[in-house]
Structure 1
């Protein structure tokens, strides 16, 4: 093709058709410029397609992570918190209504009341996004929501829940030691294990138990508050990501 145009130019010059040559040369320059612009546009399209694909993959990673977190809460953490609440509610009816309770029933309720958990979330996709660059998320509102959720709202919820849990647990252990004891249990089939038993009588009026009971209630209320915040954050983010992917 280049040789073809060169021959035309040479022919025009030899025939002394300068004006025609000049017009031809200008036309050739315009064609070259158009070709370069087209090549640049194609390159931009390809680059944009790569960016779009990367953003799509990242958003899907977030969506999968959020769904896994929500499933973990539904199948694991929430049932544990509900069992803790059932123990609290059961013992509260006895404590506040001055009912008597036998040791085995008390220990059964107390075992539920003592259940603990840790509120967690998957931070992997956000760490990957930070290493790539948050600007890969083109939607400003979504980018800000993701950054706010994973750098502030979610970690704050888990941090404050853990702090209260650790602080109260150390206090509960001290009180618990005063009204609970371990005893050896031997079974006819040869099994042996340690089992909690009460050290004191009239456990429902025992101050050490009542202190422990109130501290466990505080932990439950903190779980409930922080869990609600985490679920709200994840569900709001899930909705925003799903809308963005569907565009």
Structure 2
């Protein structure tokens, strides 16, 4: 093809048709430019298609992670609801009688498990930049930031309040024995006035923490629903 065009130019020059030569040369340049633009366009379309496939792959994995987070948050939310209910049985009883059920529930601890491996890969591979909708980018970042905040609150609660409560119980041998005895949940123990005063204060704090975590899980579950809808729309 190149030899063919070169031959035409040589013929035009040899025949002294300079004007036609320049017109032909100009046309040839235009054809080359058009060819380059078409090639660039094809390359851009191919790259966009590749990026879209890569993005969809990551977003699909992210949806799976969100489903796993959702299942864990539902479990934690239900556990906190039951825990608060058991603690309230003692708090509102006005008595110094503590049931085995309430006592054991005061020690219940759980933490949310944030499935963030896909999110970390998205950040490290700059996949967020492939999402055209800024609203989706923001929703992803805000969800994982909120989830991390809840998880840090959980660990702080376990290390501080539950740890302090456990230390207080360990000071009293009969309470420790009562906890470790394999008795039905309907067994009770009578507290001294001092113990009642101390445990009542702890139970209030533990109950309030359970209710606070319950609200946090509810909020995260709502964010998951919103984010999941956004991701599904982005994948289409």
Q: TM-score, normalised by structure 1?
A: 0.79
What corresponds to 1:186 in structure 2? none
Runs of 4+ in structure 1 deviating by more than 4 angstroms, as ranges, are: 196-200, 202-205
1:172 and 2:165 equivalent? yes
- 2:176 & 2:198 partners in 1: Cα distance? 13
- RMSD between aligned alpha carbons? 2.8
What corresponds to 1:236 in structure 2? 226
CA contact (8 A) 1:146 1:237 kept: yes
What corresponds to 1:226 in structure 2? 216
What corresponds to 1:212 in structure 2? 202
In the TM superposition, 1:1-247 aligns within 5 A as 1-74=1-74, 76-92=75-91, 95-96=93-94, 98=95, 106-133=99-126, 134-150=128-144, 152-177=145-170, 178=172, 180-182=175-177, 195=181, 201-202=190-191, 206-246=196-236
Compute the displacement of 1:26 (Å).
1.5
Q: TM-score, normalised by structure 2?
A: 0.82
CA contact (8 A) 1:175 1:211 kept: no
Partner of 2:198, secondary structure, is: helix
Question: Structure 1: any 5+ residue segments left out of the alignment?
Answer: 184-193
Question: Structure 2: any 5+ residue segments left out of the alignment?
Answer: none
Summarize deviations over 1:196-236 as a string: whole Å, max 9, x none.
68996356982233233223213312321321232233222
**Alignment length, in residue pairs?**
228
- 1:157 & 1:168 partners in 2: Cα distance? 16
CA contact (8 A) 2:165 2:202 kept: yes
- 1:72 & 1:174 partners in 2: Cα distance? 29
- 1:176 & 1:135 partners in 2: Cα distance? 53
Compute the displacement of 1:107 (Å).
0.9
CA contact (8 A) 1:85 1:220 kept: yes
CA contact (8 A) 1:13 1:21 kept: yes
